[in-house]
Structure 1
């Protein structure tokens, strides 16, 4: 098989690992390739398609082994490489409705398109937008008005969240 040009390698890797991730019932979030000396590091980020919770470690290990086997068979990467398969971190940007649905109950910081900063508890997320409780007042924010949004890490999360 011919080697991929560096510029199209992530796309070719997505094409190779996408079906494996789909078969595991997961969603392929991202694939990146970084040079690390003479080796390359392939980073694959997977997530649950929707709903609360996270990817269990056994499931992550299984999909990691399957991805490794596909990469070895496809021979897309020239030279030695390291594979890292992970899930998105808690501080990832929230961009899609499913990201917000997974964060219901969490504290968010949202910058709106108008330049407002909202920090509060995410109460609801549907296909149209979010409802964030800011100091006891529900704020409806349609997705088209969300500029940036991230979960605020809470070390002592309140029980009602």
Structure 2
């Protein structure tokens, strides 16, 4: 995955974008430049800060996009004097989670995970410890016939998996998250900060 810090030539653009995004409660995730030099296509991927839950509001993203477009039009030092196709977007659910910040921003989401031994889990991410361990609750869901799926053999409902053991991880689309989600996350965070704490089972 590209990271804005990997592109020293984009320092001015990164700084200008951050200046505009911060008041809107957004952060710059990455900068992607494609297309011909005569008309480059610049895509800025933005997201919520790491300590926030949920997804960025699209109206807010649109407003920030207009403000940044105006800044780029007024300042040729950011992307040059030639026309530029600028797009500001959010990561989307298809984005694979790789960095620790991706997992922190996905707290409360259902994940499709595969670990190093090829075991696949469908689990809700409740937290990430200071030691980089994912705190998860398995939610296998139901099959196409509505029958409950089983957890992988021999695995408990609650999982603690080091992020280093994750081979792939993606967010699943979900329309009806549990009503007690905030409490589940709070309990997991309490356990992460105090390993002797007792986590309530739902």
TM beyond 0.5: yes
Of residues 69-78 and 80-89 in structure 1, the stretch that sits farther from structure 2 once superposed is: 69-78
CA 1:46/1:70 → structure 2, altered by over 3 Å: closer, same or farther? Answer: same
Bigger-Rg structure (1/2): 2
Residue 28 of structure 1 and its aligned partner are, at CA, apart by: 0.6
Residue 84 of structure 1 and its aligned partner are, at CA, apart by: 0.7
Higher RCO structure, 1 or 2 (CA under 8 Å, sep 6+): 1
1:129 corresponds to 2:124:
no
Equivalent pair of 1:17/1:70 in contact (CA under 8 Å): no
1 or 2, which has the higher helix percentage?
A: 2
* Alignment partner, residue 138 of structure 1: 158
* Alignment partner, residue 64 of structure 1: 65
Name the Cα RMSD after superposition: 2.7
Unmatched 5+ stretches in structure 2: 1-6, 141-150, 182-202
* Alignment partner, residue 15 of structure 1: 15
Deviation above 6 Å: which 4+ runs of structure 1? Answer: none
1:54-96 CA distance string (max 9 Å, x none)? 2222211221112112212331324111111111111212234
Q: TM-score, normalised by structure 2?
A: 0.63
1 or 2, which has the higher strand percentage?
A: 1
Q: TM-score, normalised by structure 1?
A: 0.76
* Alignment partner, residue 151 of structure 1: 171
* Alignment partner, residue 122 of structure 2: 120
Aligned residue-pair number: 152
* Alignment partner, residue 29 of structure 2: 29
Unmatched 5+ stretches in structure 1: 1-6
